[in-house]
Amino acid sequence: MDWVTSLKSLIVPWHNEWLVTWLYIGFTLYFWIEVLLIMFHHRKNYDFVHHKDYEFMYIATMGIAVSLTLTTVFHIFYS
């Protein structure tokens, strides 16, 4: 199975792990948006007093986002 067929399997709902893959895509996008909000110090969602708090939250959220991205890529292209 090549990479084009793997990408086509995203639109086939009777695929074995179709729902799981789309959940991973959704959570991946959510955490990348959160990384951007933390990176630009969005005060509405993250109102930290110290600059270090943004850095710690950025590192933790970036780790989650990278992990979810790699897992999503694995779910799509593992076959």
Domain assignments of the chain as residue spans, ordered by start: 3-77
58 C-beta neighbours (distance < 10 Å), count: 17
32 C-beta neighbours (distance < 10 Å), count: 17
pLDDT band at 10 (very low <50, low <70, confident <90, very high): confident
User: What's the pTM value of the predicted model, to 2 decimals?
Assistant: 0.83
The predicted pLDDT at position 23 comes to: 95
Of residues 13 and 59, the one with the higher pLDDT is 59
The predicted pLDDT at position 2 comes to: 81
Closest CA to 38 of 69, 18, 59: 59
